[in-house]
């Protein structure tokens, strides 16, 4: 099996000319948490993003074999309560708006531990598809039939012959991960009924550029999509983007509703206009983004160095995949962070890829009471700050690295009870040395 290759052509338009945007350097796959005994076997691969000169799609320069990354996968949807709630809301929407009879089929590509489908499995036929056998096992235990496979056109034909057409195909946080997106979209088109809906969420490149969420760049994410780039591909296959929503998950994602029929809504036109206004089709916007990342790196490293010099104890909070881009690129290791807490059982007791910081269960925080927690799962900041108010009352301060480096502490004049719906800014106090 060839582990890694450099891309020669753009996967969206087949263009051959690129601008280099950001070079992260070498790092291991972001979800390859490892045991101490495996440190010397760890493999790193180059990581950098480029912009296609022709279609302006932001993409990785290199592709790691998907088998290497996804067959044994440690990311579990169920470990993040806000994410589960988000998918449960989507499951409700699908059941209420699209499922008409218990014989209708809802398929999920990249179904992970089955968190979404388990919510609608009693209302229609469901089928999960995911190459990670460990995650599929959990899904099956939860009553979600799951095929341990990579989805492609060939598999879509097999499913169609055995189960008939799908009323809904849902795919969240996987369309950035697939090199041959044309083949996958073609498979979706074939498998979807004429009035069926293809509903998928991807992290939005507008958020990456605007909010500086550069840590979304890692080997799993081959593309950083805009609605423009997705629409060109879907239209070229005879599909229509019927509707779109910006959803506040992973920073900001776009949820696309596409189909084999119908027209495009006003929201589609508005988001396309907004992408043009934001400069998402303009090379300069991407070059400015890489400067912003460098400045963020300087600020965070300076802050952490100062806190360490002052004798403060700092830990990491959350060990998301994106956190490993930040830690590796900013060169933050165990000399800065004593450990990182994470709710995912399969990450606990292991070490972060590349930087080798121990991941432990969050219970340790109450006993240990560090001074600062670097919030690597910044996308759930509001929920986490609310959840950890006892710790914050005891003096733990959170450092939020994205989009701007900020320290968040409780303001004395704010009663803790009123924090349920606060936004980060309402209690944030920036102390940048």
- Edge to edge, the sheet with strand 125-129 lists 146-147, 125-129, 105-109, 166-172, 192-203, 253-259, 240-247
Cis ω for the linkage preceding 403 (within 30 of 0): yes
The distance of closest approach from Cβ of residue 10 to Zn ion in the complex, given in angstroms and rounded to an integer, is 3
54 binds, options ligand JHZ, Zn ion, none, Cβ within 5 to 8 A by partner type: Zn ion
The distance of closest approach from Cβ of residue 18 to Zn ion in the complex, given in angstroms and rounded to an integer, is 9
The distance of closest approach from Cβ of residue 9 to Zn ion in the complex, given in angstroms and rounded to an integer, is 8
Which range touches Zn ion (CB under 5 A), out of 12-20, 22-30, 243-251, 296-304? 12-20
Size of the site for ligand JHZ (CB under 6 A): 24
- The answer to whether 52 contacts ligand JHZ (rule: CB under 6 A) is no
- The answer to whether 220 contacts ligand JHZ (rule: CB under 6 A) is yes
Which CB contacts under 8 angstroms, 24+ apart, belong to 412-417?
416/389
94-123 binders of ligand JHZ (CB under 6 A): none
Residue whose Cβ sits closest to ligand JHZ: 320
Here's the x/- map for ligand JHZ, 352-391, by CB under 6 A: it reads as -------------------------x-xx--xx--x----
Size of the site for Zn ion (CB under 5 A): 8
The distance of closest approach from Cβ of residue 54 to Zn ion in the complex, given in angstroms and rounded to an integer, is 5
- The answer to whether 13 contacts Zn ion (rule: CB under 5 A) is yes
246-285 binders of ligand JHZ (CB under 6 A): 250
- The closest of 402, 404, 393, 412 to 430, measured between CA atoms, is 404
The distance of closest approach from Cβ of residue 211 to ligand JHZ in the complex, given in angstroms and rounded to an integer, is 14
Cβ closer to Zn ion: 15 or 145? 15
Cβ closer to ligand JHZ: 20 or 390? 390
Radius of gyration of the chain (CA): 22
318 binds, options ligand JHZ, Zn ion, none, Cβ within 5 to 8 A by partner type: ligand JHZ
Here's the x/- map for Zn ion, 52-91, by CB under 5 A: it reads as x-xx-x----------------------------------
The distance of closest approach from Cβ of residue 344 to Zn ion in the complex, given in angstroms and rounded to an integer, is 35
Q: How far apart are CA 381 and CA 379, in angstroms?
A: 6
Token couple for 186 = 């073609």
Here's the x/- map for ligand JHZ, 318-357, by CB under 6 A: it reads as xxxxx-------------------xxx-------------
Largest CA distance in the chain: 66
> For strand 146-147 and strand 125-129, is the pairing parallel, antiparallel, or unpaired?
parallel
Cβ closer to ligand JHZ: 105 or 249? 249
The distance of closest approach from Cβ of residue 255 to ligand JHZ in the complex, given in angstroms and rounded to an integer, is 13
297 binds, options ligand JHZ, Zn ion, none, Cβ within 5 to 8 A by partner type: none
The distance of closest approach from Cβ of residue 56 to Zn ion in the complex, given in angstroms and rounded to an integer, is 7
12 binds, options ligand JHZ, Zn ion, none, Cβ within 5 to 8 A by partner type: Zn ion
Here's the x/- map for Zn ion, 33-52, by CB under 5 A: it reads as -------------------x
The distance of closest approach from Cβ of residue 204 to ligand JHZ in the complex, given in angstroms and rounded to an integer, is 11
Cβ closer to ligand JHZ: 217 or 307? 217
The distance of closest approach from Cβ of residue 240 to ligand JHZ in the complex, given in angstroms and rounded to an integer, is 25
Binding site for ligand JHZ (CB under 6 A): 75, 79-83, 173, 203, 220, 250, 318-322, 342-344, 377, 379-380, 383-384, 387
Binding site for Zn ion (CB under 5 A): 10, 12-13, 15, 52, 54-55, 57
């Amino acid at each position: 099996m060839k582990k890694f290759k450099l891309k020669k052509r753009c996967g969206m338009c087949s263009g051959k000319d690129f601008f280099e945007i950001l070079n992260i350097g070498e790092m291991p796959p972001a979800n390859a948490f490892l045991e101490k005994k495996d440190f010397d076997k760890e493999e790193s691969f180059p990581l950098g993003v480029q912009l296609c000169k022709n279609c302006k799609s932001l993409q990785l320069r290199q592709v790691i074999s998907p088998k290497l990354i996804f067959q044994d996968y440690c990311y579990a949807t169920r470990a993040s309560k806000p994410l589960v709630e988000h998918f449960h809301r989507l499951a409700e929407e699908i059941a209420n708006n699209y499922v008409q009879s218990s014989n209708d089929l809802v398929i999920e590509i990249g179904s992970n531990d089955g968190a979404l489908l388990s919510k609608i499995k009693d209302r229609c036929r469901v089928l999960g598809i995911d190459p990670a056998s460990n995650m599929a096992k959990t899904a099956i235990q939860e009553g979600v039939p799951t095929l341990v496979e990579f989805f492609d056109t060939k598999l879509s034909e097999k499913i169609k012959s055995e189960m008939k057409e799908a009323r809904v195909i849902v795919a969240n946080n996987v369309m950035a991960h697939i090199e041959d997106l044309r083949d996958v979209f073609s498979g979706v088109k074939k498998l979807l009924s004429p009035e069926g809906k293809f509903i998928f969420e991807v992290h939005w490149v507008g958020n990456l550029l605007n909010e500086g969420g550069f840590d979304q760049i890692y080997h799993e994410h081959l593309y950083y999509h805009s609605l423009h780039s997705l629409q060109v591909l879907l239209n070229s296959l005879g599909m229509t983007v019927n509707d779109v929503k910006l959803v506040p998950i992973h920073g900001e994602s776009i949820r696309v509703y596409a189909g084999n029929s119908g027209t495009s809504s006003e929201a589609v036109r508005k988001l396309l206009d907004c992408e043009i206004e934001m400069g998402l089709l303009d090379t300069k916007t991407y070059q400015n983004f890489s400067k912003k990342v460098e400045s963020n790196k300087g600020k965070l490293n300076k802050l952490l160095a100062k806190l360490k010099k002052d004798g403060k104890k700092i830990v990491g909070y959350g060990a998301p995949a994106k956190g490993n881009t930040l830690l590796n690129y900013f060169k933050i290791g165990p000399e800065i962070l004593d450990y990182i807490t994470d709710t995912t059982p399969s990450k606990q007791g292991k070490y972060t890829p590349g930087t080798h910081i121990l991941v432990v269960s969050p219970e340790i925080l109450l006993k240990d009471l560090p001074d600062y927690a670097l919030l690597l799962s910044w996308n759930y900041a509001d929920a986490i700050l609310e959840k950890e108010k006892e710790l914050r009352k005891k003096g733990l301060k959170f450092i939020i690295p994205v989009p701007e480096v900020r320290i968040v502490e409780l303001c004395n004049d704010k009663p803790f009870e009123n924090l349920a719906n606060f936004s980060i800014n309402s209690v944030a106090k920036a102390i940048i040395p």
